[in-house]
Chain A
Amino acid sequence: MSTTTGTTTTAGTATTTTGRASATAIDAARAAGRSALVGYLPAGFPDRAGCVDALRASVAAGLDVIELGLPYSDPVMDGPVIQAAAETSLRGGTRIRHVLESVEQLTSAPDGERAPVLVMSYWAPVLRYGVEAFARDLASAGGAGLITPDLVPDEAGEWLAASDAHHLERVFLVAPSSTPARLASTAAACRGWTYAASTMGVTGARASVGAAAEGLVAASRAAGAERVCVGLGVSTGEQAAEVGAYADGVIVGSALVRALSEEGVPGLERVVRDLAAGVAGSRA
């Protein structure tokens, strides 16, 4: 597998991404003529073991990259489905150390059920845990990096340094409202890939993926983004095919949470297979 080089914004040090990196999986998908499938579940949902089992089964069914949510009490970027799942997880007693344990279990799963794991976390828990300590513990659990839905690069000084030190990917978001200047500064701050929010809104399945998404991906690339994955609103194989035609990765969250809560792991596997079929050949 090819090793990719990401540039960092600090002191001009170029850092080589490691084998655990999600960028590696995205590039492998690309080499196979398709967009990567990135799937989200909140850690500890429906319970701690159940979440790990569900994600391993999802990898076997075609998921390329795992996005493991760190459940938070005040998730302003999330719609009702993910809010409810995060609440369930917190009520079940999920703590940050459990999330890190789940990362470790997922990254040490057998071949065929293992994929790079990015943690998705609001900033409050990471800040409280300690940014450097979190980076250290995430790296030693085998995690690829962190997606930060409410941390913009402007506020991320400590995280830029910690992620450099521990060779972690950092995925910041861009939105249809981002100016060209912000697309450029965000792309420069990301390592691994850039998360393009398809629409102005919160997470949740939508009948159609925002029309702004394709333009946003093109603009992000023009602004220097190395890889751009699209999230918010994707729930079907058809939508995955449509988005996969122009994005490096297709991110699915609420649809997986819903399938798992309504139909268990078999339902989840069915949805993942449908999505995987959608991205297959998307960029041939």
Chain B
Amino acid sequence: MSAPTTPGGEQLLFERFGDRGPYFGEFGGRFVPEALIAALDQLDEEYSRAAADPTFAAELDRLQREYTGRPSILTEVPRFAEHAGGARVLLKREDLNHTGSHKINNVLGQALLTKRMGKKRVIAETGAGQHGVATATAAALMGLECVVYMGEVDTRRQALNVARMRLLGAEVVPVSNGTATLKDALNEAFRDWVAHVDDTHYVLGTVAGPHPFPAMVRDFHRTIGVEARAQVLQRVGRLPDLVAACVGGGSNAIGIFHAFLDDPQVQLLGLEAAGDGVETGRHAASITGGVSGVLHGARSMILQDEDGQTLDSHSISAGLDYPGVGPEHAYLASIGRARYEPVTDAEAMEAFGLLCRTEGIIPAIESAHALAGALRAGRELGPDGVVLVNLSGRGDKDVDTAARWFGLVSDADLVASEAERVAAPVEDSEGNGW
């Protein structure tokens, strides 16, 4: 890999890359109201200018090193790997980034663009709260006003992240229409954006949405794979046989996949949330169980009924609980370059517990889907195999869910706290003191 370097000779973390959209095969495009086209064009132009501007790359680089803590490390997990057919398993530790997940990579890039465009306000959607927290963080760092839309159901599931965002000075708006989850938070963010495009940038949190978001967000995450590829080469002396990542909208997965696209010997495996099982209909596996359609501004694989109405998705993981997926994944699946497999709640939680006990690392439940995929793939590859897993986030936010799942705390305590939470929903405790 001949990655670009700074004048000082260090490898640049940000690099614009390949397929720029708007289409990835038949997927992608811009299925949005005309009112948003000018803002998308402005973003596309500003991003193109920024990507060619060494001062932009240098500033993003500095933030990634000095604020996020990049490059993230690579950790080999031999005790966990004993359960993966003896294959070597290496984790790309995006969980160690500031704010606890890969989401910050994209957010810092978009926040810098916001400033370049002279806009003063950012909005974001969030499901698990990780992207909302990352956006609130960048807004605090750069002095931007920040509003985060979050499904009302999710504000309850992830109440601590609501508090984190408010601590960081963001306004959190619970969205109660539709299914009151992530897809409705996206709808509300688009509505806000249409009405405030002059001073507001929409920091979309994954590689979905209208062009240029899928290509741009991918570029900001591409550093994950560029780093990991070099790290694996150095550590193992060869490329991995397989790269595994969980797929919600698909940002962490595309980020780690991209640097390996031209290495045909490296299999790319995306793990989708199968909830109770794809066959039950209660899942969030858009590629495995969806159809080609339009949602949130792009053509991609979508969970929808025969009338094109979006179906509810289901997953124990709020960050994967989304009925669509980024168009580039739909494309990679269609040409067979990447493979997408479902992982149920139960399989993900088993892998979650296993990593905790064997390696002392508590993963995000999202990332646990990738770990479950790695266990499966490792058993197929056998002892000579090398598997790279994107550990996209840490599990602090998921301790409550895990405690319930594994019955770690007395039921009475949990039931009581849940009851209290429902009785005093977060929207009633607006943190005006901040």
Contact = CB atoms under 8 A, between A and B. Distances in A.
Interface of A: 72-77, 79-80, 83-84, 87, 90, 95-96, 123-129, 149-152, 154-155, 172-179, 182, 186, 197, 200-202
A197 B178 contact: no
Contacts of B265: none
A151 to B, nearest CB: 6
Contact of B307 (A129, A172, A178): A129
Nearest to B183: A74
B30 interface: yes
Contact of B178 (A87, A126, A155, A177): A87
Contact of A155 (B30, B39, B183): B30
A200 B34 contact: no
Given A87-B177, A178-B34, A129 B310 contact: no
B194 interface: yes
Interface of B: 29-35, 37-39, 177-178, 183-184, 187, 190-191, 194-198, 291, 293-297, 299, 302, 304, 306-310
A154 B310 contact: no
Nearest to B302: A124
A175 B36 CA distance: 9
B295 A200 contact: no
A175 B33 contact: yes
B34 A152 contact: yes
17 contacts: A72-B308, A73-B309, A76-B32, A76-B187, A77-B194, A87-B177, A128-B293, A128-B304, A149-B33, A150-B32, A155-B31, A177-B34, A177-B35, A178-B38, A197-B35, A200-B194, A200-B195
A102 B38 CA distance: 36
A201 B195 contact: yes
B200 to A, nearest CB: 11
A190 to B, nearest CB: 11
Contacts of A197: 33-35
B35 A200 contact: yes
Given A128-B291, A175-B34, A200-B197, 6 more contacts: A79-B191, A83-B177, A151-B31, A177-B34, A177-B39, A177-B197
A147 to B, nearest CB: 12
Given A87-B177, A200-B197, A124 B308 contact: yes
Contacts of B308: 72, 96, 124-129
B34 A174 contact: yes
A155 B307 CA distance: 20
B195 A125 contact: no
Nearest to A152: B34
A173 B184 CA distance: 23
Contacts of B177: 80, 83-84, 87
A38 B299 CA distance: 31
Contact of A128 (B31, B32, B195, B306): B306
A91 B24 CA distance: 35
Contacts of B33: 76-77, 149-150, 173, 175, 197
Contacts of B178: 73-74, 83, 87
Contacts of A155: 29-31
A178 B195 contact: no
* Most chain A CB neighbours (cut-off 10 Å) among B32, B177, B196, B293: B32
Contacts of A75: 187
Contacts of A127: 293-294, 299, 308
The 4 nearest A-B residue pairs measured at CB? A128-B308, A175-B35, A125-B308, A177-B38
Contacts of A178: 34, 37-38
Contact of A72 (B30, B197, B291, B309): B309
* Most chain B CB neighbours (cut-off 10 Å) among A73, A129, A200: A73
Contacts of A179: 38
B195 A74 contact: no
Contacts of B38: 175, 177-179, 182
Given A95-B307, A124-B294, A127-B294, A173 B34 contact: yes
B61 to A, nearest CB: 33
Contacts of B194: 76-77, 200-202
B187 A74 contact: yes
Contacts of B197: 177, 200
A202 B307 contact: no
Contacts of B190: 76
A158 B299 CA distance: 14
Contacts of B37: 152, 177-178, 182
Contacts of A79: 191
A201 B29 CA distance: 22
B30 A74 contact: no
A83 B178 CA distance: 8
A202 B29 CA distance: 22
B96 to A, nearest CB: 35
* Most chain A CB neighbours (cut-off 10 Å) among B29, B33, B291: B33
Contacts of B29: 155
* Most chain A CB neighbours (cut-off 10 Å) among B34, B183, B304: B34
B327 to A, nearest CB: 13
* Most chain A CB neighbours (cut-off 10 Å) among B35, B195, B297, B310: B35
A99 to B, nearest CB: 9
B34 A182 contact: yes
Contacts of B196: 200
Nearest to B297: A150
Contacts of B198: 200
Given A87-B177, A129-B308, A202-B191, A186 B294 contact: no
A113 to B, nearest CB: 28
